[in-house]
Structure 1
Amino acid sequence: MATRTAIEWTEVTWNPSTGCDRISAGCDNCYALTLAKRLKAMGAAKYQNDGDPRTSGPGFQLTVHPSALRQPYNWTTPSTVFVNSMSDLFHARVPTDFVRDVFAVIADTPQHTYQILTKRSSRLRKIADRLDWPRNLWMGVSVEDSASLQRVEDLRAVPAAVRFLSCEPLLGPLNEVDLEGIGWVIAGGESGPRFRPVAPEWVAGLRERCLAAEVPFFFKQWGGRTPKQGGRLLDGRTWDQMPSHTPAATA
């Protein structure tokens, strides 16, 4: 059975690898790091390898799970699938052959739409030409502030059917972001006990850039101590725009 998720812009999660390391400001309050610690304490088999405490934590060492590659073949309902909600497929310690294996599963299950998100855009760009890109794969990068704008340039060089940005947690204005070649933008504030507030003008500014470029815009949350504390309304309405590209549309 697929793992259902409360993430508003997807439906199920699939984690062929788990674990990660902090590499930028967006990682400072990583929800996956906290969840991995809890899953380790509960005895979950995937989360028994401890990462370096300086950059990772309990249950969060980068680990690949070849046995998980078969899971999507068992899902009978076509779904939107977030790949590696608990990891980064383009982490340096994920073998390129394993990335190819994940892509092969995606190509083999065209009834599903897969979303992959990375902060390691330089490796993504480096190995992109060694991968076969399925039409049902959306590729995204995290862009939390202006210091991470290079990830957008790396993403633009990748031949994905849909390229998207996840600007969450949004930690500063993105007034210089270039949306050429980008098919979707997600934005949101941070949640949790140490959340960093998001300024309304950062969100509104990003939305205006999306509207001007005719790029679908999805506003996930204002954030706060809990994900729902600030709600999802921006200027009195929700913004739930999604890319029109689906596997069926290009079959």
Structure 2
Amino acid sequence: MPDPSSASAPSSPAPPAALHGLRFAFGTLTVLPVRVGRWDRAAARGGMLCAPLAGLVAGLAAAAAGLLLLFLGSGPLLAAVAGAAVPAALTRGLHLDGLADTADGLGSGKPAEDALRVMKQSDIGPFGVITLLLVLLAQVAALAQCYAGSWARGALAAVVSATAARLALTLAARRGVPAARPEGLGAAVAGVVPVAGAVAVALAGTLAAGAAGAAFGPYPALRAAGAVLAALAAAELLLRHCVRRFGGITGDVFGGLAETAATCALVVLSLG
């Protein structure tokens, strides 16, 4: 009789494609302990389509930190600092680092190849430092204004801004947007998302933000949806400028787009 122990164990079914996309999104856009099982174009496509979900989780964590501090008796300013710090911590500061590197590359005024070399350097130049300072100040000031209005408005702003930041990445990964380098995250995700899919996700995110804002009235609904649209418009302007200057997108540019979209969304949400 054959030895049963020598028989090969039945192989477990492969995870569905959607699960690979979720793993890609959370494994590359957050520090959560998610293993990326596949690194091909199909997984990257699913990951970039799921990017807003990673933003939603980051936004909920930021809102939870801010609300906890308010519950413990802190003021709106400290809650806003926590709201800005948590998304940065959940990305190990990679988006902020990308923003600084992109600012240094754009501010260098050098040709594309030299500017990309500047962006790859480990240090941060004066353009990057100034940009980081102003962006973080704007995020904290806008979020503090929202929390000063009410705890619910502040929490909504934290969630909407983080989600809009990742929506900008979905649109930036659409077909027709080239990679500036043949390697790196930019090359892995450049052009993987169909234009129709990117637009559909952006519309869904905008409607979801409006629906969340509708819990507080018609004007907050319009403001939340408008914040997402303004964030995507600002990120699109930066994207097009980077493509002209660098010849395409890089991982640093993705970080810059995310922080630009988040900041713009917060500013709009703080108005009124």
TM-score by length of 1: 0.29
Structure of greater Rg: 2
Higher strand share: 1
Higher helix share: 2
